[in-house]
Amino acid sequence: MRYLMTSKAGGQAPDERLYQEMGKFVEELTAAGVLLATGGLAPAGIRVSSVGDEITVTDGPFAEAKEAVAGFALVEVRSAEEALELTKRFRRIVGDGESVIQQVF
Amino acid sequence: MVDVHRTLDAAWKLEAARVVGALTRMVGDVGLAAELAQDALVAALEQWPRDGVPDNPGAWLTTVAKRRAVDHLRRAKRTVAAGEDEQAQEPDSGDDVLRLVFLACHPVLPTVQRVALTLKLVCGLTTEEIARAFLVDARTIADRVALAKRTLASRPPRAAGQLGSVREVIYLVFNEGYSATSGDDLLRPGLCLEALRLGRVLAELVPDDPEVHGLVALMELQASRSAARTGPGGEPVRLHEQNRGRWDQLLIRRGFTALLRARGSGPPGPYVLQAAIAACHAGARSAEETDWARIVSLYDALVHLVPTPVVRLNRAVAVGMAHGPEAGLALVDSLTDDLRDYHLHPGTRGDLLLRLGRHPEAAREFERAATLTDNAAERAFLRRRSTEAAAPVGRVLVDVADEFLARTDLDRSTLRSYAQTLARLRKAVGDRTPIAALTPQDIATMFTAAWSTASPKTWNRHRAAVRSFCSWSGIPDLTSTVERRKEVRNRAQAVELDRVWQLPDAPVRERLLWTLLHESGAPVRAVLDLDVEHLDLPGRRATGPISLRWRENAAHLLPQVLAGRTAGPLFLADRRPGPGRPPREGDLCPVTGRGRLSYERAEYLFKRATGLTLGALRH
């Protein structure tokens, strides 16, 4: 089963140590055949909404920088617990902040 | 939400290979390492529910297990330094994992033991999980694991050269998951995932082996189709009928990437070739666009390396697609002795026989295949195909119509006429309507809507076509509510015909066509289908597939139209065909490159010149 983990922008600015540890973590998960895709998201975005026949396009940013999703990881795991365990490891590396995991159908 | 047992299980599965690998290095025996790891799990089960799950469960398990190993070494009065060295310089855990994989897949072990040991030690599955995946009882798996450990303890493994054995185990696990050989589910995704992950790990650890990348590519590409290969009721969906939109593009991309990594020096091995075949399917936008010729050539290479009957059977399927069902059937038949009791043999034969229109034989083969398979979903599917083949009534309109029109026992003009009727029928009731569901009311509605203002002759022609279709496909006559119309010869038209012969500037081709129709009384299609080589000019008749006679007026015009041509269609279109619509070979003039004059065009020209239809000339 697949899970998508999205993370909001963390409190502290990334330093050299964080980059290194994250690099190692990503490498390890890729080697283990678990991490399928990962990436960061730019703070700016374009919102496209539709009501009836009308489509509205709005340029972002939209929320507090802290609330915006800043990165994602798509993992292939055996169970929800495994996804949770991986997310915990990720949080331990990046420090304060918040991630959400959702199963991908 | 946090369940201690499940958290422990997840943490263990993520760490198992590294922990057991490290312990094996420390204590030198995989059986003992597994026991020590088990001790750590037991300790976790005691402490975690009481003290809470540790912050880093994986690290906790690793530490506790290693501590047990050091304790053990101390008790065994072996050098205690081994444990302390351990702390000093942590060796690359990748090496531990690789050594463990090689050990678990050691060739001295029978295959079933290799599989059980690998899933248990490398993937961290429990005995019960393995037993469930392979549909045997837990006792059997426990015995296999125990036996394997004992064998390995008494026989220290060789260092290298067992990569082939590792690949074999991984692919076996994958296949057990992908094409489950027995049981009720067609797919056991858990096993596929284990194999995929194991393969990806191996590819990282042994990056220079093209076949490992080939294996990974093969598994990624096959796994990309898993969502599409079973229907809503769990029944198998064949490759050419799968909804390609449901193929997992992410896995396809990973598969192609792995295949690129597999490019090494030297000729490709079996896994790379199979992956390349899978890539041909993945790369085809639709089933029709599949490059079967390339697949056949890849199978040729594969048969060369792995000349097993099953590979040859797969090649026969590809040949059947590339060169027609007869060629495929000949190859399949040559494998009968080798593949006795293998359900895919009669299954493939049934497919090919069906394409050749040999329904009763196909039905028998599907029935045999159903008897031979152990998989319940597949058995049900084969039974259904057998029933359908026996009586095509369960099949959908478009398929039966295609087979009906592929008959070779009718002349072309009849088939063309039937095709018109069936095309209308398909539009009226829909391609996927089972022909058994057609009612006389459907047919009556179609006739009223499409042909109520047509001539009685046209009406009756379509009526005859439907009747013929019904009787051929074994359903009741559906034209019971469609009255045959009385055909009246139109005297007024006959009188008007005199006018035709006096048209001053009609081209010679048209005048010949009209004269021929009038003098021979033959159907328009038959006259348009005339080929030059079948004309007997002195005898004033056509021989060959269409036989008709003409009189002096046509005889006078013929040489002008022929203009020295000796082959090809008698009546040619005004222009060469466009590149988008290449005509049949027999419809092309070898001299001028022009195609055969079409019915529609001939009709149009006549109508424009006279206001009449060509049919009027026959009377």
Select from A78, A82, A101 the residue whose CB has the most chain B CBs within 10 Å, as the one to mutate to test that interface: A78
pLDDT tens digits along B229-255: 887 777 778 888 888 888 999 999 999
Residues of chain A whose beta carbon is less than 8 angstroms from a beta carbon of chain B are 30-34, 36-37, 74, 76, 78-79, 81-82, 84-86, 88-89, 92
Nearest to B172 by CA among B127, B209, B132, B118: B118
Of the listed ranges A4-8, A31-35, B293-297, B403-407, the one predicted with least confidence: B403-407
Residues B356 and B408: their CA atoms lie apart, in Å, by: 11
Rg (CA), chain A: 16
The DSSP string of B503-552 is -TT--HHHHHHHHHHHHH---HHHHHT-BGGGEETTTTEE-SSS-EE--H
Domain assignments of chain B as residue spans, ordered by start: 1-94+103-157, 398-473, 491-618
Place of tokens 């057990």: B176
Q: Is the CB of residue B306 less than 8 Å from the CB of residue B314?
A: no
More confident site: B172 or A14: B172
Q: How would residue B151 be classed by pLDDT, with cut points 50, 70 and 90?
A: confident
Q: Is the pLDDT of residue B543 over 60?
A: yes
**3-state secondary structure string across B194-222:** HHHHHHHHHHHHCCCCHHHHHHHHHHHHH
Contact A78 B10 (CB under 8 A): yes
Residues B458 and B466: their CA atoms lie apart, in Å, by: 13
B584 Cβ neighbours under 8 A, 6+ residues apart: none
pLDDT tens digits along A75-84: 999 999 999 9
Q: How would residue B549 be classed by pLDDT, with cut points 50, 70 and 90?
A: confident
Q: Is the pLDDT of residue B577 over 50?
A: yes
* Chain A residue with minimum CA distance to B191: A78
Helix (H) or strand (E) holding B100, with range, is helix B93-104
B548 Cβ neighbours under 8 A, 6+ residues apart: B516, B520, B521, B522, B526, B527, B541, B542
For residue B460, give the DSSP letter.
H
pLDDT tens digits along B441-491: 889 989 988 898 888 888 988 998 998 888 777 677 788 888 888 876 555
Nearest to B186 by CA among B247, B233, B241, B243: B233
Q: Is the pLDDT of residue B200 over 90?
A: yes
The SS3 call for residue B357 is: coil
Residue B477: the pLDDT is 78
More confident site: B189 or B138: B138
Find the CB nearest B13 among A33, A76, A78: A78
Q: How many other C-beta atoms can be found within 10 angstroms of the C-beta atom of residue B218?
A: 28
Residues of A in contact with B16 (CB under 8 A): none
Q: Is the CB of residue B424 less than 8 Å from the CB of residue B418?
A: no
Residues B266 and B296: their CA atoms lie apart, in Å, by: 21
Any alpha helices (H) in B391-507, and if so which ranges?
397-405, 412-429, 440-451, 456-473, 491-501
CATH value at residue A49: 3.30.70.1060
Nearest to B123 by CA among B110, B135, B133: B133
- Edge to edge, the sheet with strand A99-104 lists A35-40, A69-76, A2-8, A99-104
Q: Sign of the CA dihedral B189, B195, B197, B203?
A: negative
Residue B250: the pLDDT is 92
Largest CA distance in chain B: 123
**Stretch A10-15: mean pLDDT:** 72
Task: Please name every residue paired with A73 in a beta bridge, in sequence order, or none if there are none.
Answer: A5, A38
pLDDT tens digits along B348-395: 999 999 888 788 899 999 999 999 888 788 888 899 888 888 776 567
Interface confidence (ipTM) of the complex: 0.80
pLDDT tens digits along A39-75: 888 888 888 999 988 999 988 777 666 678 889 999 9
Find the CB nearest B201 among A32, A82, A84: A32
Residues A28 and B280: their CA atoms lie apart, in Å, by: 31
* Chain B residue with minimum CA distance to A76: B193
Residue B421: the pLDDT is 92
Residue B181: the pLDDT is 56
Residue B212: the pLDDT is 95
Residues B134 and B128: their CA atoms lie apart, in Å, by: 10
Residues of A in contact with B12 (CB under 8 A): none
The number of distinct structural domains making up chain A is 1
Share of chain B above pLDDT 90, in %: 32
Q: Is the CB of residue A27 less than 8 Å from the CB of residue A14?
A: no
Q: How would residue A5 be classed by pLDDT, with cut points 50, 70 and 90?
A: very high
Residue B59: the pLDDT is 87
Contact A33 B55 (CB under 8 A): no
Place of tokens 């690129």: B260
Nearest to B220 by CA among B183, B246, B185, B253: B253
Strands A69-76 and B535-536: unpaired
Residues B547 and B460: their CA atoms lie apart, in Å, by: 24
Place of tokens 């304790």: B71
Residue B374: the pLDDT is 81
Distance from CA of A22 to the nearest CA of B (A): 17
Q: What are the φ/ψ torsions at residue B146 (nearest 5 degrees)?
A: -65, -45
Identity of the residue numbered B404: F
Residue B394: the pLDDT is 65
Residues of B in contact with A86 (CB under 8 A): 14
Of the listed ranges B71-80, B185-194, B494-503, the one predicted with least confidence: B494-503
Place of tokens 């999703």: A69
Residues B555 and B538: their CA atoms lie apart, in Å, by: 9
Residue B116: the pLDDT is 94
Residues A80 and A10: their CA atoms lie apart, in Å, by: 24
Q: How many other C-beta atoms can be found within 10 angstroms of the C-beta atom of residue B428?
A: 17
Cβ-based contacts under 8 A for chains A and B: 54
The SS3 call for residue B267 is: coil
* Chain A residue with minimum CA distance to B13: A82
Nearest to B196 by CA among A64, A29, A76, A7: A76
Q: How would residue B157 be classed by pLDDT, with cut points 50, 70 and 90?
A: low
More confident site: B487 or A104: A104
Q: Is the CB of residue B285 less than 8 Å from the CB of residue B262?
A: no
Residue B147: the pLDDT is 92
**Stretch B13-25: mean pLDDT:** 91
Q: Is the CB of residue B537 less than 8 Å from the CB of residue B403?
A: no
- Mean pLDDT rounded to a whole number for chain B: 85
Residue B88: the pLDDT is 45
**Stretch B277-281: mean pLDDT:** 95
Contact B198 A84 (CB under 8 A): no
Q: What are the φ/ψ torsions at residue B488 (nearest 5 degrees)?
A: -110, 130
Q: Provide, for chain A, the percentages of residues in helix, strand and coil under a 3-state DSSP scheme, each rounded to the nearest 5.
A: 30, 35, 35
Place of tokens 């293998």: B342
**Which residue range(s) make up the domain with A28?**
2-104
Distance from CA of B391 to the nearest CA of A (A): 39
Nearest to B18 by CA among B50, B53, B61, B69: B61
Helix (H) or strand (E) holding A6, with range, is strand A2-8
Find the CB nearest B7 among A30, A36, A81: A81
B76 Cβ neighbours under 8 A, 6+ residues apart: none
Place of tokens 């700016």: A44
Distance from CA of A38 to the nearest CA of B (A): 12
Residue A15: the pLDDT is 82
